[in-house]
Amino acid sequence: MTVTELPGSGTEEPRAGTGADGAAEEYSVWPATTTEEPGGRVLIAGVPLDDIADAHGTPVYVLDEAEIRYRCRTYRSAFPDADVHYAAKAFLCRGLVRLVDEEGLGLDVCSAGELELAVTAGFPPERILLHGNAKSPADLDTALRLGVGRIVIDSASEIARLAAAVGPRGHQKVMLRVTPGVGAGGHAKIRTGTDDQKFGLSLRDGHAQHAVARVLGQPQLELTGLHCHLGSQITGTKPYLTALRRLVGLTARIRDAHGVVLPELDLGGGHGIAYRPGDPVLDPTALARRLRAALAESCAAARLPVPRLLVEPGRAVVGPAGVAVYRVLAVKTTPGRAFVAVDGGMSDNPRPALYGVRYAPRLIGRRSSAPTARTTVAGRHCEAGDILAEDVALPADLRPGDLLAVPVAGAYHLSMASSYNLVGRPPVVAVRDGAARLLVRRETLEDLRARDVGL
């Protein structure tokens, strides 16, 4: 197993898990503490995944605490003069809230639910941003009651509503989300920086400039900066550099028109990660270096002081730290393809159905000497599109009772889960230093029945 020193930590932690045969590439998208025993058992942080499956049932999500901490520290090292806010929509629970707090990151939330969970878990509200294109009265009331640090205004109609909620003697720091006209992201449904979608105020048609004037006209609202989010699974730096230059241009126009110099600039997140070996990724250190240079150059040309930068990684922090474990329930062979049905599916991971996301599942718990076969891993739900992984190479001798593990399952799995077919959502188990602890328990039939009061 290879190791890399943690930036600024003075310690070493594993950065590339390997099996007994040294197959580092095969495990390159797994948590760095992953190891494989000669018999095929796979361990994360020294904890066998089949032991977790036996103790907690399947499906089950396993989170490697060391991997999350490493990624938090990587971002803090890459952006030492910026604020790094973890995007809670990727996945949130009280245990993760405490971990993110301990690593010195802020939080980016988009609902009263996420905000309440974070604050009641002890997270400082002044280090939280609230955003969203359609904030409910409960969202805004909760943010003001708890003293959230920033509220990101997303539409013109929100300005007067927020000002009224703050009251004439109140005060709230706000940012303004703009769409810089930059299309980026791994799928059309997750590109949010263009003009023709629901988020933000357009630079191109003047709505952003008009909204700035309206915010500045509300004395109880303090405009601290501009915000944008270009999309998700972005693997190149060019879209961020283009957006940065356009936002600096707007900042200069605000200064010229209103005599106000905004001290902050938030470029959102969407940093791409690898779901399969060989997939492109966005290097946060390289991104930070290029953003710093572009920000200094653009601000110098516009005769502006350099604003404080904010970034909001979510998937890039928690995604590679998670592994989903399923048990095979049925195997069906058709001409040219094998279907392997597992005990989860689109209720715990809707992303393949929504975005066509591709994963690299593998057999764990035993070693197979059988040749690989073209296999589709199907879910248990009553939808033909309930597919977790299509046309992947898996051992031809897979059988009911086997365990399959899907790496890179820490983000947008459980956070987007449902109880479709009244199948309860899976638990989350954290592993660290050879020990496992339950973070989120399994949703039970009793939980589902308790919500149904209309008898």
Element (H, E) at 437: strand 435-440
Three-state DSSP at 25 gives coil
Query: d(Cα 25, Cα 325) in Å, to the nearest integer?
Result: 20
Residue 91 structure tokens: 């996945």
Residue 276 assigned as binding residue: no
Task: Choose, from 72, 110, 299, 382, the residue flagged as catalytic.
Answer: 382
Rounded Cα distance between 289 and 282, Å, is 13
Q: Which candidate, 83, 138, 84, 82, places its Cα nearest to that of 115?
A: 138
Task: Note if the bond before 219 is cis, omega within 30 degrees.
Answer: no
Q: Is 315 annotated as a binding residue?
A: yes
Range list of β-strands (E), 57-183: 60-64, 83-87, 106-109, 128-130, 150-153, 172-179
| CA distances to 213, 214, 215, 253, 326 from 210, in Å | 5, 6, 9, 12, 52
- State yes or no: 426 annotated in a binding site: no
The annotation status of 383 as a binding-site residue, yes or no, is yes
User: Is 86 labeled as ligand-binding?
Assistant: no
Tokens of residue 357, six digits: 């996301």
* Contact present, 66 and 47 (Cβ < 8 Å): no
Question: At 268, which helix (H) or strand (E)?
Answer: none
Whether residue 110 lies in the annotated active site: no
DSSP E strand boundaries for 235-286: 264-266
Buried b (16+ CB within 10 A) or exposed e, 136-164: eeebbebbbebebbbbbbbbeebbeebbe
Rg (CA), the chain: 23
* 312 annotated as belonging to a binding site for a ligand: yes
| Nearest-angstrom CA–CA distance, 69 and 150 | 25
d(CA 180, CA 182): 6
270 is in an annotated binding site: yes
d(CA 223, CA 132): 17
Annotation-wise, does 102 bind a ligand?
no
Distance separating alpha carbons of residues 226 and 209, to the nearest angstrom: 11
Q: Which residues contact 326 (CB under 8 A, 6 or more apart)?
A: 58, 59, 342, 343, 344, 377, 388, 403, 404, 405, 406
351 has binding-site annotation = yes
Which residues are annotated binding-site positions?
Answer: 270, 312-315, 351, 355, 383, 412
- Residues marked as binding for pyridoxal 5'-phosphate? 270, 312-315, 412
Binding residues for substrate: 315, 351, 355, 383, 412
Active-site positions read 382
